[in-house]
Amino acid sequence: GENVEQHPSTLSVQEGDSAVIKCTYSDSASNYFPWYKQELGKGPQLIIDIRSNVGEKKDQRIAVTLNKTAKHFSLHITETQPEDSAVYFCAAPISGGGADGLTFGKGTHLIIQP
């Protein structure tokens, strides 16, 4: 099955700076890569995703890039704000098209310093 590695486990940045979280995956057949944000005391929530037919996707201050050759994808957050403080998870389909669920990275605790 798919294996997803995520780095770093903790990331502290100054408010207004950029943050980058990186993930690698093992199954070259994987074709969908979402990112989830988990705020304190809540369940994870999808914030952005990318499919394997594109290299980059952007939504306001967040963007995701995908390098299929190297089998890695990254989350970029620009102009960080206090509300960006959370745990972020990357994910990939457990197998095939993802109908049987997602496998998640171990998470990155993003801390925005005022």
DSSP states along 26-80: S-TT--EEEEEEE-TTS--EEEEEEETT-SEEEETTEEEEEETTTTEEEEEE-S-
Q: Minimal distance in Å, beta carbon 87 to another protein? A: 9
Q: Build a one-symbol-per-residue string for 32-61: x at contacts with another protein by CB under 8 A, - elsewhere.
A: x-x-x----xxxxxx--x------------
Q: How far is the CB of 89 from another protein (least distance, A)?
A: 6
Give bridge partners of residue 48 from the DSSP assignment. Answer: 35
Q: Under the rule (CB under 8 A), what is the footprint of another protein?
A: 1, 6, 9, 32, 34, 36, 41-46, 49, 89, 93-94, 97-107
